[in-house]
Every structure is written in structure tokens, then in C-alpha cells.
């Protein structure tokens, strides 16, 4: 439940002028506004599952996006039943100046490509159907002038090929890989909340630059409660982060009873040192290496 000074768990990913929002609980639009971010470029909304704290802010957000004069269609991705649930919530937002394309995830995992980003949805284990999401940005290889010369590629095409274009002239086809070295390390983030720790999480979070994971309970003694409510302890989240060999993990989705998450940070750090506590408005800019 939303608390004073603790918004519900949500993630906004901004890349290249577009925005992906993951989950939208009650008050998420206020949290976005506190950051001073715009609603208009939200092109894709990913929903983990249909519990109120992850979706009940949606009608208000859609109204606000409509008030911001958005007309471009919005894509929404989520578990089966997404269209029915969202349209039911939209009883208070029936008229929007933009269309919504609903994409309901099939099966245990599904890959999508939007806005130049690769999105992977993977099923996790909660008391309703719930998905985690990985979002990846590929990085092309370095431009290799020697290789381009060697292959006799006309100079006038170099720039276009480097930008990813495929060009055909006089029956010859030139492809970007002809002028580029092997792909370099890109960026990856994984977002995962409302679940027990399951192998799919570590598998999909593998090598993420940022892994955002629920930590409903700080105290290891609350493990039975975590199992009951299909959530995780800090230790369980840290173990996943270690297995996935991520660069950094942010904990989030604290239980309202967890008033001082800081108290249990060392528990998580003892398992995965690069654990950071999520807090309202927490932001990071991820950049390519080197």
C-alpha cells in the first residue's frame, strides 16, 4: 500500500527520447511529477501483474497523458487478461486522445523489441501470474576502416553502414557487419518484483548492469512469511544478484512493516556487496563502458 513518503514500486526507463514505464500503482504519476519528468513520451507500459499496488494508478496516468495532448498510440504489455483489466479500470477514463495497443504475454517468456530496446518478459512466481522484465540496449562493434578498405567498400557508404543501414548498389549488397567489429557490451537492466526467488530470475538477470529486485522482508526470520505471501527476503534477493553476477542490485517493494530497511542492508551486502536500497525517486544514468 502507498505510504506517506514511500511511493509504490515502479520504474521509468528513458532512452533516446522515449520512455518505458514498468508498473503504475496509486500515486506513481505524482512520483513522476516530483522528478519533473514528462508523461508524454511514455510509449510503452509494462505491467508485472494485476495487483492494485502495481496497476491502480493507471487510469489517472492515462488521463494525465491525455491531458498532455498525447495522440501517438501507447503500447501496453502484461499478463493475459491485460486488455480486460485495463479497460475495466478505464471506466473513469473512457475517452483518451490516443489508442492503446495491448500485448498479452504468452507462456513462460516472450521477447519484444520496442524503441530500439530489447524487452524480455519472464514468468516469476507470485500468487497471481506475474512477470519480470529485462530491458537491453545492444551496442554495435567499433568501426573498422581497415576491414572496410580491404573489402573494397565504397567510402561514400561507410557512414551509412556504420549507422546500421544495409545498402545495395549495382547488384552488390553491403551490410553493417562489413565495416564493424564484433558487438561490444551493451546495457541491460532487469526488474523483478512480487515473486519468490526462482531460477528464471537469475537466468534473465544474468550480467545485468542494474538488477532491481523486490526485498519485501529485511529480517531472515521473516522467511516463512515471505514464502507464505510469495515474496522475498533481502537475503534471497542478494543471492539471486550473486548468481546472476549483476553489477548492482537495488532493493525495493518493502513491506509497510519494514520501517527501516537500512537496518537489514548489511545482511544483503554480506551476500552481494553491491546492494543498494531503493528509495523514492532513486535514479541512475547507465552508460556504455569505455
Using CB under 8 A as the criterion, which residues of the chain lie in contact with a second copy when the complex forms?
Answer: 1-4, 25-27, 29-30, 33-34, 50-53, 55-57, 59-60, 63-64, 67, 84-85, 88-89, 91-93
Cα dihedral 54, 255, 134, 269, rounded to 10, equals 170
Q: Residue 60 or 261: which CB sits closer to a second copy? A: 60
20, 114 contact by CB (below 8 A): yes
CA torsion through residues 223, 229, 234, 237, sign? positive
Q: Residue 60 or 215: which CB sits closer to a second copy? A: 60
Residue 98 CB, shortest distance to a second copy, in Å, is: 16
Residue 232 CB, shortest distance to a second copy, in Å, is: 20
Q: What DSSP character marks residue 57?
A: T
Q: Residue 57 or 197: which CB sits closer to a second copy? A: 57
Q: Which residues pair with 75 in a beta bridge?
A: 44, 101
Q: Residue 3 or 145: which CB sits closer to a second copy? A: 3
The SS3 assignment for 277 reads: strand
User: Which triple of cell numbers denotes residue 76?
Assistant: 501496453
Q: Which of 23, 43, 53, 209 is catalytic?
A: 53
Q: Which residues contact 29 (CB under 8 A, 6 or more apart)?
A: 39, 57, 60, 61, 64
Residue 229 CB, shortest distance to a second copy, in Å, is: 12
For 28-56, give one letter per residue: b (16+ CB within 10 A) or e: bbebbeeeeeebebbbbbbbbbbbebbbb
Residue 259 CB, shortest distance to a second copy, in Å, is: 13
Q: Is 194 tagged catalytic?
A: no
Known catalytic residues? 53
Amino acid at each position: 500500500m502507498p505510504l506517506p513518503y514511500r511511493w509504490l514500486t515502479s520504474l521509468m526507463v528513458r532512452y533516446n527520447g522515449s520512455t518505458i514505464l514498468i508498473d503504475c500503482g496509486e500515486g506513481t504519476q505524482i512520483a513522476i511529477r516530483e522528478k519533473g519528468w514528462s508523461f508524454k513520451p511514455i510509449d510503452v507500459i509494462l505491467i508485472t501483474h494485476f495487483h492494485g499496488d502495481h496497476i491502480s494508478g493507471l487510469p489517472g496516468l492515462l488521463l494525465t497523458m491525455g491531458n498532455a495532448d498525447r495522440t501517438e498510440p501507447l503500447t501496453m504489455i502484461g499478463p493475459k487478461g491485460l486488455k480486460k483489466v485495463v479497460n475495466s479500470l478505464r471506466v473513469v477514463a473512457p475517452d483518451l486522445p490516443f489508442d492503446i495497443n495491448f500485448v498479452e504475454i504468452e507462456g513462460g517468456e516472450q521477447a519484444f523489441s520496442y524503441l530500439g530496446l530489447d524487452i524480455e518478459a519472464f514468468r516469476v512466481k507470485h500468487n497471481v501470474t506475474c512477470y519480470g522484465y529485462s530491458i537491453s540496449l545492444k551496442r554495435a562493434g567499433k568501426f573498422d576502416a581497415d576491414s572496410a578498405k580491404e573489402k573494397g567498400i565504397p567510402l561514400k557508404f561507410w557512414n551509412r553502414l556504420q549507422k546500421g543501414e544495409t545498402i545495395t548498389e549495382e547488384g552488390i549488397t553491403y551490410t553493417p557487419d562489413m565495416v564493424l567489429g564484433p558487438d561490444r557490451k551493451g546495457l541491460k537492466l532487469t526488474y523483478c518484483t512480487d515473486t519468490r526467488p526462482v531460477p528464471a530470475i537469475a537466468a534473465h538477470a544474468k550480467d545485468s548492469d542494474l538488477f532491481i529486485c523486490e526485498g519485501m522482508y529485511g529480517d531472515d526470520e521473516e522467511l516463512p512469511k515471505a514464502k507464505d505471501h510469495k515474496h522475498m527476503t533481502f537475503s534471497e534477493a542478494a543471492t539471486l544478484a550473486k548468481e546472476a553476477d549483476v553489477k548492482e542490485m537495488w532493493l525495493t517493494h518493502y513491506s509497510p512493516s519494514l520501517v527501516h530497511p537500512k537496518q537489514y542492508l548489511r545482511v544483503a551486502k554480506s551476500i552481494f556487496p553491491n546492494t543498494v536500497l531503493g528509495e523514492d525517486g532513486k535514479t541512475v544514468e547507465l552508460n556504455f563502458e569505455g
